Structure 1
């Protein structure tokens, strides 16, 4: 006779089923009355101070009187939107930076049009980023500004600082890939998987077929790195919070950010996958942008390198290698106990990342 390892009483099963049904009913009622505009993200007060083509440069309105004299420019990635840095009021990197007294600006790249498929990394680094830096230098009457890079935007910021060290006072990087060949971890096979895939993808065919690479294709790639957790697990776990409106709103804000990314400009995407991910030219000091070599030894300004200890997309050693390559004597690392996205939206990160960045910058003011 087969016996169950757990003694389940019928009355307990009925009670649990009723609780689940009540939770689902309440959750469906909440969701059915929800409008897209109710799921608000990117709400930190800001103004647009500079535009160029699709680009907008935002200035976040100060909340403190004691502002650091040197402005901070945030360079975000090209493959998704900046809004993860301002997901909600109590989980917002930009709000935290502003509240720490940093005069904060951020580049929003916008959505590339079909004609923008010809934009290159040179156009982004020596064009758009340099123009924003020059705008801020003139606006604030300073020779150099502080630059903070986020993920792929950190790679672009690193390239910019190496090419224009005379314009960057301090460089702050967060979960930034420098070495794109992380190797293979049998115990954690998903760690660094995105970069390992990038070495074999036929990016030439992809860009030739699409022009600008669609956001859905990019997002699908990210989801496949951890397919069960990111495609099934989170929706299974959502059942536990269906009757909690605050938790559901947090969940929906993240979903809105995840599934509302921009397309990627074709030539820049082709170049990034080929030169950075496949050939690993940046860490080898072989990457040319325009007619100039990106030499990491030219990074002579102070550097704060922030990485996430549980990052499955950018393993810590892919970021930390910069300490061996940069030419600065003032190099600092900050370890945040989180994952790749959690470094911006996690509860612990709110108390560590922005305060740590602000303290480090003020010590070098």
Structure 2
């Protein structure tokens, strides 16, 4: 028995020594290596208008479902989170499952695009992209899929066009009750956050300010993530995944000035999406108007859009065919990476199959 314990301790010590060596060698490699490539699944740019880019991914299955999917990315980041890396790509999964996939992605708005409003994103950009998808696919029906603020834009669009071309609506980690957005409420509180002065003075809101706003929400968890990286520096698979998520997360985009003013006042301050009073160019965007099949995915441990901020959407939407799935994970791990491949993606595929014929 003593020999067995001694052997176990010896093996543990050898493993510790090897991992310590690997951790330090690979730590140097981590900082010397080039920025990882994201979004490598083949695609074609089929439409662009300033900050907006519409991509069509090339099919990867012999038989394709009739109803195409249009992904709507959050305006703060690029859509590569949907296509992180081969084997850990939502886009790749959907293509191989037989779906025709399109994505609304964003670039940094140019100085003259500071005048873009919430109405531009919901009443112009989304309809224009839907028209291009219809033309290219030859189908009238569309499934609209929005992530985070992309989900908010999708909900607003559909609430204004309940009898339009959208056949199905899917949202991930989509804020609805903005009073529950915790740190963002502190950051943008009326008593100290002069959004009018900010936008009137500088126009587009710089990406550095957006990044700082996100970073303030969970400084402890960010330190913990760095510690986990160090502990797992010996693990090539972990480091590769971490680097790609981190590269996506820090590559934040500026926000169009008037759009930022609208979202701050109408959503963060007045909570008009929750109350059903959001007026977009004379149309009321009330989620209760939505009647198409609806799937809402919520992350149980989301520190960006807490469960309490996202959960009310399922009860607001007027659809009879609606479902909420609450999954373990955070804001990013819900949609990207190994856990998403086991949890959200198969659940979404199962939900979509019969509704995409």
- TM-score, length basis structure 1: 0.87
> Offset of 1:305 from its aligned partner?
0.7
Label 1:323 to 1:347 Cα distance change in 2 as closer, same or farther (>3 A). same
How do residues 192-203 of structure 1 correspond to structure 2 at under 5 angstroms? 192-200=182-190, 201-203=193-195
Decide which of 247, 252, 261 is 2:238's aligned counterpart. 247
Please give the secondary structure, in 2, of the residue aligned with 1:27.
Answer: helix
Given that residues 111 and 204 in structure 2 are in contact (C-alpha distance below 8 angstroms), is that contact kept between their aligned partners in structure 1? yes
Alignment partner, residue 71 of structure 2: 74
Match of 1:347 in 2: 338
**CA contact 2:114–2:256 (8 Å) conserved in 1:** yes
Q: State the alpha-carbon separation in 1 of the partners of residues 312 and 319 from structure 2.
A: 13
Question: Counterpart of 1:307?
Answer: 298
Q: How far off is 1:60 after superposition?
A: 1.3
Task: Please report how far the alpha carbon of residue 170 of structure 1 lies from its aligned counterpart in structure 2 after TM superposition.
Answer: 0.5
Q: Does 1:286 align with 2:277?
A: yes
Q: Is the 8 A contact 1:311 1:340 kept in 2?
A: yes
Relative distance call for 1:280 and 1:19 in structure 2 (3 A) is same
- One of 130, 142, 146 as aligned partner of 2:127: 130
Q: Secondary structure at the match of 2:334?
A: helix
For 1:225, the equivalent position in structure 2 comes to: 217
> 3-state SS of the aligned residue for 2:38?
coil
2:262 matches 1:265 = no
Change in 2 beyond 3 A, CA 1:195/1:167: farther
State whether residues 187 and 213 of structure 2, in contact with CA within 8 Å, keep that contact through their aligned partners in structure 1: no
- The corresponding residue for 1:211 is 203
Are 1:179 and 2:177 counterparts? yes
Deviates more, 1:150-159 or 1:25-34: 25-34
Shift of 1:120: 0.4
Say whether residues 1:274 and 2:272 are aligned partners: no
What is the RMSD computed on CA atoms of the aligned residues? 2.3
Unaligned runs of 5+ in 1: 1-13, 183-190
Paired residue for 1:35? 34
Tell me by how many angstroms 1:173 deviates: 0.5
Aligned positions of 1:90-105 closer than 5 A: 90-105=87-102
Q: CA deviation at 1:75?
A: 0.6
SS at match of 2:272: coil
Q: State the Cα distance separating 1:151 from its structure 2 match.
A: 0.3
Give the structure-2-normalised TM-score.
Answer: 0.89
Q: Provide the residue aligned with 2:320 in structure 1.
A: 329
Cα drift, residue 218 of structure 1 = 0.8
Aligned counterparts of 2:92 and 2:151: Cα–Cα separation in 1: 19
Structure 1 position 66, deviation (Å): 2.2
For 2:349 and 2:237, locate their aligned partners in 1 and report how far apart those are by CA, in whole Å.
30
Corresponding residue SS for 2:275? coil
Which residue of 2 is the match for residue 49 of structure 1?
46
- State how far apart, in whole Å, the 1-side matches of 2:115 and 2:220 are: 36
CA distance in 1, matches of 2:20, 2:299: 38
Distance 2:28 2:333 in 1: 29
Q: Aligned partners of 1:122, 1:140: CA distance in 2, in Å?
A: 26
